[in-house]
Amino acid sequence: MSAKEFRHFINGEWVSSPRTFENRNPADNSLVGMVHEAGEQEVDAAVRAARAALRGPWGKMTVAQRMELLHKVADGILRRQDEFLAAEVADTGKPVHLAGHLDIPRGAANFKVFADLMKNVPTESFMMDTPDGGKAVNYAVRAPRGVIAVVCPWNLPLLLMTWKVGPALACGNTVVVKPSEETPATATLLGEVMNEAGVPPGVYNVVHGFGGDSAGSFLTAHPDVDGVTFTGETRTGEIITKAAAKGIRPVSLELGGKNAGIVFADADLEKTIKGLGRAVFENSGQVCLGTERIYVQRPLFDRFVAEFKAYAASIRIGDPQHHDTQMGPVISLGHREKILSYCRQAVADGATVVHGGKIPDMPAHLAEGAWFEPTIWTGLAESSAVVREEIFGPCCHIAPFDTEEEVVALANDTPYGLAASVWTTDLQVAHRMGSALEVGVCWINSWFLRDLRTAFGGAKQSGIGREGGVHSLEFYTELRNVCVRL
C-alpha cells in the first residue's frame, strides 16, 4: 500500500476502486493522499469476506487463541506507534503530544482490555424444579452476533474505532469498518498490523467513502450485516437506525451532545478552570464529551469568566508537530465555516464575545489551514441556537445561575443527554447532581476520566445502548439460554 494512497482492506488484501477523493491535512490544507471510494461491489465483497471468516478459522478458534491474536494486534500498534502517530496527526491536525499520549496508546489498549475481559466474563445459571418433581438446569452462553458494521467519526479516529473493533473481535465477531472520509489513515494502517499479527483474512475489513449513496449507506443497508455500531452526529444516527430497521438489525449509537459544566460557588476555582479548560478546548473542542455550556453560580460568575478568559488566551495554537503546541486546527475548512456561522449567530443574538471568535493569524506555511481561536461568549438567552445546538468546536457559552434546582432545569433543558461535569466541594450536592442530571456520564470535579470497565453512552438523543466493560458484550454477543432436564 502506497503511503499516499488509501485503498480498501478486504479479506486481508488491498483493493482499489475506480473513484477516488482527496485527503487533506487540516493544518496546512496540503494533500495527504488519495482515498479510494467504495461502491456497492466493494462493500458487498467486504461483507462476504467477513461472513466467510465467521465460518472459517476465526469461528473455530478458542477464546484463548483469539485473545492471543488481539494482544499481538495491540503490540503491533505500539511497535509501529510512530507510523500511527504520524498518520493520525496528518489526518486530524491534533497536536502530536495529544495523539501520542491519548489516541495511539488508548487505541492499542482497547484490544487488550476487551481481550482480557472476555477471558473472565461469567454468565448466569439457575437450577429449577420441574412440574413432575424433577430438576433442570439453565445456563447462558454468549455467541458472536456475526458481521458488525463499524462506522467511525473523525475526531478520535483510532481510539473510537478500536473502542468498537476491540470488543467486537474479542466476542468472536468479524467487522467491516467505514472510517470517516476525513480520517482514513489509521484504520487502513491497522490492516497491515492485522496481517502481521496473523489475524485470519476477512476478520477485519475496511471500506472507504462517504455516507449517502456511498460506502456508509451501502454498508448499513447491507442485508448480511448483523449489527451496526456508530459514533457521530444525531442526524446520521437517525439515518442509520432507519437503514438497520430493515431486517430488524440492532444498533449501538453514540451521538451528539450539548454538554453542560456546572460550577458551584464553593468549587476549587483553580482545578475547575483547568478541568473545564480541557473540556472546552482540548482537541479544538472536537470531543463528543466536550463542554459547550457552562453554568456558574452567581457569586463566582465574574471571577470565573475573567479567569477562564485568561486560560483561553494562554492556549498555544500552532504547528501540530511541535511538542509545545496545545491546540491545532479544526478538522476542515468546511467545519470551520460551520463554527464561524455560529459565531455570527452569537453576535446577532446579542452575545458578549469574551474571547476569540475569529481566525487567528498563522505563519505562512500554516496560513491555508483550518485554524480557529478559542472562543467564549456570555449574555445569550437559553433559546439561542448557539446555546441549544452542538457546534463541535473550541467554543462555549457561560451563564450565571442561583440555585441548585435552577441549574438542574437549565442543564436538562436539551434534547441531548450525553455528559455533564459538576464542580463543587459539597459531597451532598455532588451526589444529588449525579442523580438529577439526565446524562449517560456525569463527572464530579473531573472531566474525561474513564475507567474502561464502566458503562458509557448517552441518554435521550445522545444515543442508544452502552459500551465499556461487560456492557459492550451485550451488543456484540447474543445471549442464549440452554435448558437441560436432569
| Tens-digit pLDDT profile for residues 164-188 | 999 999 999 999 999 999 999 999 9
Whole-model pTM?
A: 0.96
d(C-alpha 245, C-alpha 247), whole Å: 6
What pLDDT is attached to residue 310? 98
* Joined grid coordinates for residue 123: 454468565
pLDDT at residue 119 in the model: 87
> What are the residue ranges spanned by the domains of the chain?
5-255+462-485, 259-444
Handedness of CA 460, 461, 462, 468 (dihedral sign): positive
- Domain at 259-444: CATH architecture: 3-Layer(aba) Sandwich (3.40)
Predicted local confidence at residue 309, as pLDDT: 98
Assess whether the region 5-255+462-485 and the region 259-444 belong to the same CATH fold. Answer: no
- CB-CB contact of 149 with 43 (8 Å): no
Q: Which three cell numbers stand for residue 345?
A: 449567530
Give the closest residue to 267 by CA, choosing from 414, 141, 131, 444: 444
Q: Report the C-alpha gap between 312 and 372 in whole angstroms.
A: 12
Question: How high is the pLDDT of residue 1?
Answer: 40
Question: Which residue ranges in the chain fall short of pLDDT 50?
Answer: 1-2
CA 450 to chain centroid, in Å, comes to 13
Under 8 Å between Cβ of 128 and 138: yes
Asked if 277 and 254 touch (Cβ cutoff 8 Å), the reply is no
Separation between Cα atoms, residue 178 and residue 222, nearest integer Å: 13
Cell numbers linked to 340: 464561524
Q: What is the C-alpha separation between 333 and 341, in angstroms, rounded?
A: 12
Q: What are phi and psi of 395, to 5 degrees?
A: -140, 150
CATH class held by domain 5-255+462-485: alpha beta
pLDDT at site 452: 87
Would you call 257 helix, strand, or coil by DSSP? coil
Continuous H helices in 205-268: 215-220, 234-245
Cell of 391: 457546534
Cα gap 108→97, rounded to integer Å = 16
Q: Which three cell numbers stand for residue 472?
A: 459492550
SS3 of 331, please?
coil
* 135-144 and 352-355 beta bridge pairing: unpaired
What amino acid positions are annotated as catalytic residues? 254
Half-sphere exposure of residue 416, counting CA atoms within 13 Å on the CB side? 28
Locus of grid cell 476478520: 203
